[in-house]
Amino acid sequence: MPSPFPGMNPYLENSEFWSAVHNRLIVAIADDLVEHLSDRYRVEIEKRTYFSNDDENVLVGIADVAVVTRKGVEPSGATTAISVQPEKVVVPIAQEVNERYLEIREVATGTVVTVIEILSPKNKRAGEGRIAYERKRNQVLASMTHLVEIDLLRGGRPFPIASRNHGDYRILICRGDHRPTGDLFAFDLRQPIPVIPVPLMPSEAEPLLDLQKLLHQIYDRGRYRLAINYTQPLQPVLSEEEKQWVEDQLERR
């Protein structure tokens, strides 16, 4: 059974599914592009790593003090009464986060021609995830490398773009030789994901990327129809008009 939505399936934005959808979409885009690129290029899946915890308040660094136990040293027999009883607390433990993105490289020189990013929830809220992505984003924008930034998440804080129409979802294509201008594809929940061009070296034809087709394939192959509970309310909250539209789509399944 296909996805009940003509565009982005908002239930896939759920944190339970998004990490897997993100990884599947990265691989699907890489495989699709290879079919449309000449032997001048290759597509590489790269990884950005940082440390973060769930509440985004504690970051991992290098400890200021290391406690070392030396063999052969016995503890003193003297004891001191503890006047203050300890409180049991929960210590946030940061986890290593790996975010994958794509690089299109010129084979002859190894030059990174285009970077393709799919935003994650951590990229769109305060914390190390946003800092790490923003650092990478600024590096790309300061170079001649093209940036394709895909935002299929309604939640979180989008990155600044001088536009009045940010839509529910956004795809930004910022060509290295046209900065600071870029092409913004903004669309809402009820619209299909637009087919976008992927910029390459100057004067070369730009292959078209059909994200909607790839996302429908991921929904089908991942059997998300069996995993998603379509009776659960969506987050972020929908308007009354959007709720009615979602209900109408689900009734047609």
Q: What is the pLDDT of residues 27-51, one digit of tens each?
A: 999 999 999 999 999 999 999 998 8
**Burial class, 76, CB count within 10 angstroms (exposed 0-12 / middle 13-18 / buried 19+):** exposed
User: Does the residue 154 lie in any domain?
Assistant: yes
- Percentage of the chain lying above the pLDDT 90 cut: 74
Which helix (H) or strand (E) segment holds residue 219: the answer is: helix 211-221
- Give the C-alpha separation, 188 to 200, whole Å: 28
DSSP type of residue 247:
H
DSSP type of residue 167:
-
User: Does the residue 68 lie in any domain?
Assistant: no
Q: What is the pLDDT of residues 90-115, one digit of tens each?
A: 887 878 888 999 999 999 999 999 99
**Burial class, 245, CB count within 10 angstroms (exposed 0-12 / middle 13-18 / buried 19+):** middle
Question: How does the average pLDDT of the chain come out, rounded?
Answer: 89
User: Does the residue 87 lie in any domain?
Assistant: no
User: Does the residue 224 lie in any domain?
Assistant: yes
User: Does the residue 215 lie in any domain?
Assistant: yes
189 contacts 245 by C-beta, under 8 angstroms: yes
Q: Which residue has the higher pLDDT, 95 or 5?
A: 5
Rg (CA), the chain: 23
Edge-to-edge strands, sheet with 95-106 = 41-52, 95-106, 112-118, 146-151, 169-174, 183-187
Q: What is the model's pTM?
A: 0.84
pLDDT at 57: 40
Q: Nearest to residue 117, comparing CAs of 89, 75, 78, 148?
A: 148
pLDDT at 80: 66
Tokens of 172: 């930004």
- The residue with tokens 């991992």 is 60
Domain containing residue 24: 10-58+94-251
Instruction: Report residue 61's pLDDT band, with 50, 70 and 90 as the boundaries.
Output: very low
pLDDT at 97: 87
pLDDT at 66 > cutoff 60: no
- Give the C-alpha separation, 165 to 169, whole Å: 10
User: Does the residue 105 lie in any domain?
Assistant: yes
Q: What is the pLDDT of residues 190-205, one digit of tens each?
A: 999 999 999 999 989 9
User: Does the residue 19 lie in any domain?
Assistant: yes
User: Does the residue 21 lie in any domain?
Assistant: yes
Tokens of 18: 């998004």
**Contacts for 68 with CB less than 8 Å, ≥ 6 apart:** none
End-to-end CA distance of the chain: 8
> In total, how many domains does the chain have?
1
Please state the rounded mean pLDDT for residues 114-121.
97
Q: Nearest to residue 8, comparing CAs of 206, 157, 186?
A: 186
